[in-house]
Amino acid sequence: MQEAEEKKKDGQVKGLLRIALSENAYERLMNVKLANSQLYAMTANQVFNLYQKAGRKLSEKELIAILKAIKGTQRETKITFK
């Protein structure tokens, strides 16, 4: 039951993202989802907020700027070999 609800919610989010993003931007965000689900979730929230303010689809360049801004606020992990 819970899995079905999650799939339904995910489908609704994807539908809203299709409305808010250009086709290239949507495809890029789906690739981000596969690689980093936490970054995807934060970015989706930002996309919804900006779409409401702008009232138009966001381009791929705008999505990349959002991703860079979010990624910049996250702490980078560095591995040092001795």
Residues in Cβ contact with 33 at an 8 Å cutoff, skipping those fewer than 6 apart: 40
pTM here is 0.78
Q: Is the pLDDT of residue 1 over 90?
A: no
At 23 the pLDDT is 95
Instruction: Pull the structure tokens for residue 69.
Output: 């801004």
DSSP run (H or E) holding 17: helix 2-20
Answer for the pair 71, 40: CB distance below 8 angstroms, yes or no: no
| Domains of the chain by residue range | 2-73
At 76 the pLDDT is 61
Superfamily of domain 2-73: PDCD5, DNA-binding domain (1.10.8.140)
* Three-class DSSP category at 21: strand
33-41: long-range pairs with CB below 8 Å, 24+: 39/67, 39/70, 39/71, 39/74
